[in-house]
Amino acid sequence: MQNEIPFMSTTQVAAAIKSNLITSRQVLEILLARCDQYNHQTNAIIYLNKTQARARADAADLALANGEDWGILHGVPCTIKENNDWKDTPNTLGDLKWKNRSSSHNEVMVDRLLSHGAIIYGKTNLPYHAMDLQSYNEIYGTTSNPWDLTRTPGGSSGGSVVSVACGFSPFEIGGDIGGSIRTPAAFTGVYGHKPTFEVIPKRGPNIERVAKEISVRGPFARTAEDLKLIMQCLVGEDGPLSRGYTLKLPEPTKKSLSEYRVAVWSDDVAAPVDDDLVQACETVASAFEKAGAFVDRTARPDYNFTMKNFKMYFTLTAAANTLNDEPAVREVTLKEYRLALEEREEIRASWERFFEQYDVLICPSHSTPAFIKDESEPKTARTLACQRNGSTVQLPYFQPCWWAFLTNTGLLPSTTFPVGVNSKGLPLGLNVVSSEYNDYICIDVARLLAKECGFRFNPPPGYGKEDLKKTSRM
């Protein structure tokens, strides 16, 4: 049991604790030992609070012995992203001017994790202001991809995905405004879910009270089932701020892949996609067809996404950044902001019409697999190598974000799932997208793809079960 803990699912760990097969304190010590052994290689976890975590784990064990049940995460240890507000812990966003900044109290999402019994023991790395395709900053340094330490795990939730992929934490919480959940999940072969806008409250002492345009919080895990479990802990109305309505996400009704109508968008001139990922899309499309599903490889929404949504995205995010004096591309007038909101509604309407015909869309998270780390400045001068028809082409660094903006600007839910590795041994990940509030449908399709087709998480080489016996510390 002890040697299996680092790669057990959240559901399995919670069940083992509640069944008295292992204690919360024992699980915590195993994960801390795992961090001691491997974290120096990847620099995923940049803050630990062992004392508080051990005290809470002991309290969880005592409560269980007295017949108390704190919730579905009772006694389950985990890490969270550095910019999540957790009382009396650093919240610097990797910015030296905030080096000594901490959180005065928990954000809503963290309170919900704790209310369900989670034991938070550390925080994970991110890029400066959580705004990059890589995860490095002047305070905490660089996080590396465990599949290839010369490559990035992505950003901005790079530390989050490495914590999950390496068996430091059974689940994690990241954020996404331009692919910061989906790209890192794809780069490291884990599951990630970018929720529908505002279904998970994003409010805390270092976060604006009015939700930042497009930006969301969301979970990472090693199974699709765990994504849903964590979502069930986090989703809900934000108290008095949402008085007058009840949020209830639709449950999936289809029992197999054969029942789905699937659109596949594997490549686009606006953001060319690496051959391996185009092939991965085709592999998944063929798997759907073999299962009996209807698949359309040419279906597209009736909206020109080539450039218009790019402009709208940058207008809304630039306007939002001014709230906290964060770096902005430019100043935005009230008229520009209002017109961008109108454009967003056009996009949402287009997607709604699209999803009247199709249940889900399969598309890439990013144009390439994980790329070699590049911390040169300015960022806009960087390029990414992309294999196109067997030849290497260089893409502008931020061009692949088009795939994130494609669905972000429509506020759509999107689940990233693993589709094996390429010839270089790098993970390949794709997205399941559906209409707004169909979060659990996206997650369930990822679950069915694992169940029926074998597309599931595998540990990075050197971090798997063959190494687990080395990490126990009781």
Please give the positions annotated as active site. 81, 156, 180
With contact defined as beta carbons under 8 Å apart, do 404 and 314 qualify?
A: no
Which of 119-144 are b and which e, b meaning 16 or more Cβ less than 10 Å from the residue's Cβ?
A: bbbbbbbbbbbbbbbbbbbebbebbb
Cis peptide before 378 (omega within 30 of 0): yes
For residue 207, what is the DSSP state?
A: S
Distance between CA atoms of 76 and 53, rounded to whole angstroms?
11
Quick count: other Cβ atoms within 10 Å of Cβ 194? Answer: 31
The SS3 assignment for 172 reads: strand
Distance between CA atoms of 347 and 341, rounded to whole angstroms?
10
> Which two structure tokens, joined as six digits, stand for 461?
């080489």
Distance between CA atoms of 373 and 144, rounded to whole angstroms?
8
Nearest partner of 260 among 128, 461, 434, 14, judged by Cα: 434
With contact defined as beta carbons under 8 Å apart, do 134 and 373 qualify?
A: yes
With contact defined as beta carbons under 8 Å apart, do 281 and 364 qualify?
A: yes
Tell me how long the chain is.
474
Distance between CA atoms of 285 and 288, rounded to whole angstroms?
5
In single-letter form, the type of residue at position 326 comes to E
Distance between CA atoms of 46 and 18, rounded to whole angstroms?
30
